[in-house]
Amino acid sequence: MADAENPPVPTELVAGKYRLTRLVGRGGMGSVWEGVHDTLGTRVAIKFIEREYVDSPEARSRFENEARAAAKLGSKHVVRVFDHGLMGDGRPYIVMEFLEGEPLDQRLDRLGRLGAQDTARIVLQVCRGLANAHSAGIVHRDLKPENVFLVWDAEDQSDVVKIVDFGVAKFVDSASGMSSATRTGSVLGTPFFMSPEQARGLRGVDHRSDLWSVGVITYRCLVGQLPFEGEAVGDLLVKICTAPLPVPSALAPDVPPGFDAWFTRALAREPNERFSNAAELAQALMATCGLTPPASSLGGPVSPVVTSTAGTAIPASLRTTERAVPGMTASGVTTQSAGTAVQRKPAALIAMVLGVMVLLLIGIIAVVKFSRSGGAAESAPPSSEPGANTQPALAAPAAAPAATSAGPLSTQSAQAPSVQPVQAAAPSASAEMAAPKRAALTPKPQATAESSLSSPQKPRVKPKSGQAKSKEAIDVGY
């Protein structure tokens, strides 16, 4: 005998090819049946609007939105839609893939809580589906454990997450021709998982409202309870909008380090302070739980997270490498490769060698000049010609330091009155004019200070072998 839980199975083929087999479930405005393709034998799920809501424009609009939204998305983490139409009695239907498994809420009821990494893997797949929907301009607005279906994949030995029920989805893309069936002040969705802007009925709800809902689902999985509860819907909505956020680690000390900060950001009441997109939210949670997702697994370009040996998430853009690579670093500073620095070392070495060689060359030139000046002074014989110019020549002062090596001659040289005035006196104008003429003529042997104070026949004393000439010989003579 048929009853409300086991109604008779309709015999009419859906879309002329799907045969109904059994009732799977019934919701607020519709029911879901298991069906089989009449010729291929493929299992499908077929959803109907209940008869009492067939004439409701809002119910029909939501039903059509669900069909079009799911059909528009090509993600494997969103339930696939194969067909959509009307039955003979005017009831709309949707033919979808048949999901064999359990919704997340049933697993949580059975287990109470989930482990951190299991939760992160589920949230990652939810965010993959959301990233696909958000990029298509679709906001789900009713994310909750009941709408997160877990399908067991025997090949991969893991759960595959499917997002279902886009009935109250909002379509941001007006060009799509789909209505979101939203009026300012209306509250759509399940209160426990609503964002503050959604609870207030604001019209500007965007994809960040879904991110809030994901944060609540994650909290429920790790802590084992909901962050906000109330005796009535109004009381619950006030808490969502104004009550302080709970601290997860205070209720569940075994949550991963850093989850408190992640939860605080996920449930920031100001949408601009939340994670900017689903990829960023999932990436941060995976890192917090000790996992690193592939960069391409979130449906868009994301900055990959690298987990250090201490388990701390480090953005790859801030990770240092053993060898610098030319280009801009994360701080905006241009770096150069180690090869460039190595190539500069020979250049610096060559410059240093050239500098030393130049210094040596200067020293050699000075020594040669010094040697020549000394030889000229030593070979200059004293003049004995009558009427010879007794004024010291330019080379005359050089003989004075040479004479200092002999005892008596050094005294005589120091008392010579004709040497000191020439050294100290500034040149006169006549001297400046006569200087070029004297330089052009071949100088005659002139009497030195030594010859003016001693016998013309007395030879000049040479410095002993190995004795260095004084520094004044260079400074004064040349």
Tell me the C-alpha distance between 207 and 213, whole Å. Answer: 10
Active site residues: 142
Long-range contacts of 425-432 (CB under 8 A, 24+ apart): none
Q: Using alpha carbons only, how large is the chain's radius of gyration in Å?
A: 50
Tokens standing for 112?
Answer: 């109470």
SS (H, E, C) the chain: CCCCCCCCCCCCCECCCEEEEEEEEECCCEEEEEEEECCCCCEEEEEEECHHHCCCHHHHHHHHHHHHHHHHCCCCCECCEEEEEECCCCCEEEEEECCCEEEHHHHHHHHCCCCHHHHHHHHHHHHHHHHHHHHCCEECCCCCHHHEEEEEECCCCEEEEEECCCCCCEECCHHHCCCCCCCCCCCCCCHHHCCHHHHCCCCCCCHHHHHHHHHHHHHHHHHCCCCCCCCCHHHHHHHHHHCCCCCHHHHCCCCCCCHHHHHHHHCCCCHHHCCCCHHHHHHHHHHHCCCCCCCCCCCCCCCCEEECCCCCEEEHHHCCCCCCCCEECCCCCEECCHHHHHHHHHHHHHHHHHHHHHHHHHHHHHHHHHHHHHHHHHHCCCCCCCCCCCCCCCCHHHHHHHHCCCHHHHHHHHHCCCCHHHHHCCCCHHHHHHHHHHHHCCCCCCCCHHHHHCCCCCCCCCCCCCCCCCCHHHHHHC
